[in-house]
Chains A and B, each alone.
Chain A
Amino acid sequence: DSGVTQTPKHLITATGQRVTLRCSPRSGDLSVYWYQQSLDQGLQFLIQYYNGEERAKGNILERFSAQQFPDLHSELNLSSLELGDSALYFCASSVEPGGLETQYFGPGTRLLVL
């Protein structure tokens, strides 16, 4: 158990819908990262927040957005869903940006778009 929690564990929805994935970082961690893992693209970095502010962006689609709240939990919003958005979405946390050795991953949310 990494200490990072993600909800829900599984999500099934239809194309065109919108979903919200939630992540609670480890206690004391200020930085949250989101990653997407699909069969054809592998594990890809989406976006990072530190203490409520966006710090880095990766291959995140415009249909996707995220935020980190004052209590440090983060939400990843996926809208206008397409079949290709079906993937595992991981959240990771670390104490501070660049704390690579202390980047702990949650168990992931498996999204299936039908």
Chain B
Amino acid sequence: DAKTTQPTSMDCAEGRAANLPCNHSTISGNEYVYWYRQIHSQGPQYIIHGLKNNETNEMASLIITEDRKSSTLILPHATLRDTAVYYCIQTHAGGTSYGKLTFGQGTILTVHP
């Protein structure tokens, strides 16, 4: 079962920042937070991951609270192409899980013109 909770849906205006929250209150010390997105029945696409520090890459930023019980994915300048389902996943990097991903329902982000 998915261990994270996310809002079912969110809207964002094109060009504005999209902030997608995720709660992972049961996260353990060696679990990471990963974000993937899925654009209309395409294969999921990796966005970003983090352990406890904030992370940024060319796609997004990830802000993790100090207690690590929640995080926010930030798309700084959302475009129509960012309309997708966004999945927040807490999981071990390696070890006995061997990399399997447990997807929840995700957040449907709709970017409006």
> With contacts defined as CB atoms under 8 Å apart, how many contacts are there between chain A and chain B in the complex?
76
Q: Measured between alpha carbons, how far is A88 from B103 in the docked complex, in Å?
A: 15
- Contacts A107-B43, A108-B42 known; A101 to B98 CB distance under 8 Å? no
Interface residue total, chain B, C-beta cutoff 8 A = 25
B97 touches A98 (CB 8 A): yes
| Interchain CB contact under 8 A, A55 and B98 | yes
Contact yes or no, B46 A98, CB < 8 A: no
Q: In the complex, which residues of chain A have a beta carbon less than 8 angstroms from the beta carbon of B49?
A: 100-101
Residues of A at the B interface (CB closer than 8 Å) are 2, 4, 31, 33, 35, 42-45, 48, 50, 55-56, 58, 88, 90, 92, 94, 97-108, 110
Residues of B within 8 A of A (CB): 32, 34, 38, 41-46, 49, 87, 91-95, 97-105
